[in-house]
Amino acid sequence: MKKLVILLSMIFFVLTLVACSQNEATTKQEDNEEPKTKEVTEAVEPIVISGVLGDVELSEPAKNVVALEWTYAENLLALDVQPAGVTDIENYHNWVKIEKEFDETVVDVGTRQEPSLEAIAQLNPDLIIAIKFRHEAIRDQLESIAPTVFFDPYPSDENFSQYAEMEATFIEIAKAVGKEEKAVEVLDDLNNKYEEAKTVIENADLATKDVLLTQAWSADQVPTIRVFTTNSLASVILEKLGLNNPFVSEQFEVYGFSTVGVEALTNYESANFLYVVQDDDNIYENQLKDNNVWKGLNFVEENRTYPLGGDAWLFGGPLSAKVVIDRIVDTLVNN
CB-based burial, 272-306: b 16+ in 10 Å, e otherwise: bbbbbbeeeebbbeebbeebeebeebebbeeebbb
Q: Provide the 3-class DSSP secondary structure of residue 272.
A: strand
- Asked whether residue 23 carries a pLDDT value surpassing 80, the answer given is no
Widest pairwise Cα distance in the chain: 136
Q: For residue 249, what pLDDT is reported?
A: 92
47-186, CATH topology level = Rossmann fold (3.40.50)
pLDDT of res. 221: 79
Strands 257-260 and 272-276, by their bridges, are unpaired
- pLDDT tens for 158-179 read 999 999 999 999 999 999 999 9
> Are the CB atoms for 257 and 228 separated by under 8 Å?
yes
CA neighbor of 114 nearest in space, from 84, 86, 134? 134
* Lateral strand order in the sheet of 85-86: 107-108, 85-86, 65-67, 127-131, 148-151
pLDDT-derived band at 40, boundaries 50, 70, 90: very low
CATH superfamily of 193-334: Nitrogenase molybdenum iron protein domain (3.40.50.1980)
Mean pLDDT of 187-192: 98
Q: What is the DSSP letter of 244?
A: B
pLDDT tens for residues 132-161?
999 999 999 999 999 999 999 999 999 999
Q: Where in the chain is the domain with CATH 3.40.50.1980?
A: 47-186, 193-334
Residue 25 has a pLDDT of: 45
Q: How many residues are recorded in the chain?
A: 335
Q: For residue 7, what pLDDT is reported?
A: 41
pLDDT tens per residue across span 82-123: 999 999 999 999 999 999 999 999 999 999 999 999 999 999
